[in-house]
Structure 1
Amino acid sequence: MEDETEITVPHSRSRLRKIVRLLAVFVLIWFLAAYLIVPFAWDRYAEHHPAFDDSPRITETSDHHPGDPLNVGLVGSLDQVEQIFKAAKWYPAAALGVRSDLEIAADSVLSRPDDEAPVSSLYLFGRKEDLAFEQPVGDNPRHRHHVRLWKMDRESTSGRTQWIGSAVYDERVGLSHTTGQITHVTAPDVDVERDYLFECLEKTGELASHSIDYGFHKQLEGKNGGGDPWHTDGNLFIGVIAEDVP
């Protein structure tokens, strides 16, 4: 019996070491492909395919995929925008990175709430979003309401700051269909999230007016940077924050 034990234990340990090495190699290959090789390949592809150029109606990812469609606009100062979202119980979102990718994956698995769960960066006017807000749903960051906002170069006719943005609902955490990176999978009906956001803003009592730019979008469906489909009625909701909001 002693001879059998002496032979079996080293064999089991050797097998375990092989499995660990294989897992480590797999994780390394996935990391290199998702975060280095695929984004670089898309950069090269986009250089030769003008169809991936930024659109004034649709955002863009860092690797030049079409992003989420724009569907909301606000008029008001930076302080007023931050104030109305605070009153609406939407929280500032952190920036996304490799470390936060893993943190949000762990939070999702363990069902840990996170009011400041990160959002990936999208681009418009050649820069990433100026502001991002979110509202968690339940105790798990897999699903949440969120919006990204960009400050526009031109002011309103009354000389106030204008913002345009994209409100989209995150259904779950998964892998991007295009890069394999950890990301949120978004709900296809972006109008539902647009409507919900303005319902929250209206309830604060801090909106002076709410109008609709009908037919803002001519393209009514598509896929975002993660490969998730979206569709819209094409309308842009615009809210003017009351000037007496601090």
Structure 2
Amino acid sequence: MRRFVVFVLLAVTPVLSAQTARIEAIAPTAPVAVAHRKDHATVTIDATKGWIDTGIPLVPGDTLTVKANGTITLANGQTITPDGKEHFWRDLLRQYPLPTAQTGALIGRIGDNEAAWPFSIGAGETIPVRSTGNLFLAANLSDGLTATGSYKVSITLASTPSGSATAAALSLSQLLQPAIFDAFPRRDDDGQGNVGDAVNFALIGSEQQVQDAFLHSGWFAVDADRNTAILHGLLATLSKEPYREVPMSTLYLFGRPQDMSFARGDTLRVAAERHHVRIWKTTQVINGQPLWIGSATYDNGFARDSRNGQVTHSIAPAIDTERDFLRDSVTSTGAVAAAAYVTPSDPIREAKTATGASFHSDGRILVMLLQ
């Protein structure tokens, strides 16, 4: 079984290179009060209330056993149990909190951060806890789909000590030499000499760990090209599933296209607005695992490409917001053993992408050690 380690506080003393590159600790998630919590609780989830805070604090190492009964009734009179009902064609035009769960199914989330990805529960499920925060529950309903009624939910909590945070994870201040990042390009390019997005995050881990970190936190691998997208979209429609894997443009680093591309976004808006990352593998190895670097930006609509006047995606100029959304989403699944910010000796503060869009940043690169 894969081990999940508590997200830890790193050494607080900055490590400076001769070129003034530096590393800064990222504080862990604030602790929650668990000393007096009960090991069993029963809560009622009202279908009209959206996400409901159960008030039950959770920490990594906990195991939840959840059982639910009751019914909710849609506006059309259809009755639904906690397992939910199968999606129909019209559901492709709705945005659900958890698109992969059945309509009306009981779902959960740990914490109230928008980056935290929900998980399916249904009528019964045992769930290993990998992050810190209160347990939230809801019926999986879209904004335009109203229902009445409630589910009665029984929650049993078992706790397994996860060990000392300091002993559980290596300090990045010991693993990283910030000057490593001075050797990498600061930005990707379009393959024609036009520089693009800033490199603003890095991952230490195997290829499988990188893929799992994204896929388990609500991100999805995008299709590589138009032909693949057409086939994938057709198959998704026939399966009554939303199509979200819209391809993104190819950009280059180290003279080659991205090795991985992931996105996350609302089903109905994903073609225009979405979180997205491009990732390249480097030749560096840290703690026995490859180092990957990438760019994280948020598509917020369309604009004219300054190179050719064609319509292209525009990005939100505050790219640090997207970098930190990436941190919060991946951390919420327990995939991160430790994290820090590295400021290279020549950080990117303000610039324009290959298409002419402006962006700004504090210049720091997010580094996450995966587990």
Answer yes or no: same fold by TM over 0.5: yes
- State the match for 1:206 in structure 2: 335
Shift of the 216–182 alpha-carbon distance from structure 1 to 2, 3 Å rule, reads farther
| SS of the residue 2:250 aligns to | coil
Give the Cα separation in 2 of the matches to 1:123 and 1:80. 23
Structure with the higher fraction of residues in helix conformation: 1
* Superimposed CA distance per residue, residues 54-85 of structure 1 (whole angstroms, 9 cap, x where no aligned partner): x7111111222111000000011111111111
- State the match for 1:143 in structure 2: 273
Shift of the 83–165 alpha-carbon distance from structure 1 to 2, 3 Å rule, reads same
Structure with the higher fraction of residues in strand conformation: 2
| SS of the residue 1:222 aligns to | strand
Shift of the 202–176 alpha-carbon distance from structure 1 to 2, 3 Å rule, reads same
Give the Cα separation in 2 of the matches to 1:69 and 1:92. 21
Query: Contact 2:229–2:245 at 8 Å: present in 1 too?
Result: no
Query: Contact 1:88–1:200 at 8 Å: present in 2 too?
Result: yes
| Aligned-CA RMSD value | 2.4
Question: Is the aligned partner of 1:168 residue 2:327?
Answer: no
Q: Which amino acid aligns with 1:116?
A: E
- Within the candidate set 38, 58, 61, 2:187 is matched to 58
Give the Cα separation in 2 of the matches to 1:114 and 1:150. 25
Give the Cα separation in 2 of the matches to 1:193 and 1:236. 12
Shift of the 62–152 alpha-carbon distance from structure 1 to 2, 3 Å rule, reads same
Q: How does 1:2-21 map onto structure 2 within 5 Å?
A: none
Question: 1:214, CA displacement in angstroms?
Answer: 2.4
Give the Cα separation in 1 of the matches to 2:227 and 2:311. 9
**Sequence identity, in percent?**
34
Q: Which amino acid aligns with 1:233?
A: D
Paired residues, number: 178
- State the match for 1:124 in structure 2: 253
Q: Which runs of 4+ in 1 moved over 6 A?
A: 98-101
Q: Which amino acid aligns with 1:204?
A: T
- State the match for 2:162 in structure 1: none
Question: 1:183, CA displacement in angstroms?
Answer: 2.1
TM-score computed with the length of structure 1 as normaliser: 0.67
5+ residue gaps, structure 2: 1-183, 234-241
Give the Cα separation in 2 of the matches to 1:193 and 1:148. 13
| SS of the residue 2:284 aligns to | coil
TM-score computed with the length of structure 2 as normaliser: 0.45
- Within the candidate set 77, 85, 90, 2:219 is matched to 90
Question: 1:215, CA displacement in angstroms?
Answer: 4.2
- State the match for 1:9 in structure 2: none
Shift of the 180–97 alpha-carbon distance from structure 1 to 2, 3 Å rule, reads farther
Give the Cα separation in 2 of the matches to 1:206 and 1:88. 9
Question: 1:91, CA displacement in angstroms?
Answer: 0.3
Give the Cα separation in 1 of the matches to 2:317 and 2:326. 16
Question: 1:240, CA displacement in angstroms?
Answer: 0.6
* Superimposed CA distance per residue, residues 161-191 of structure 1 (whole angstroms, 9 cap, x where no aligned partner): 1100000000013431222334211111110
5+ residue gaps, structure 1: 1-54, 105-112
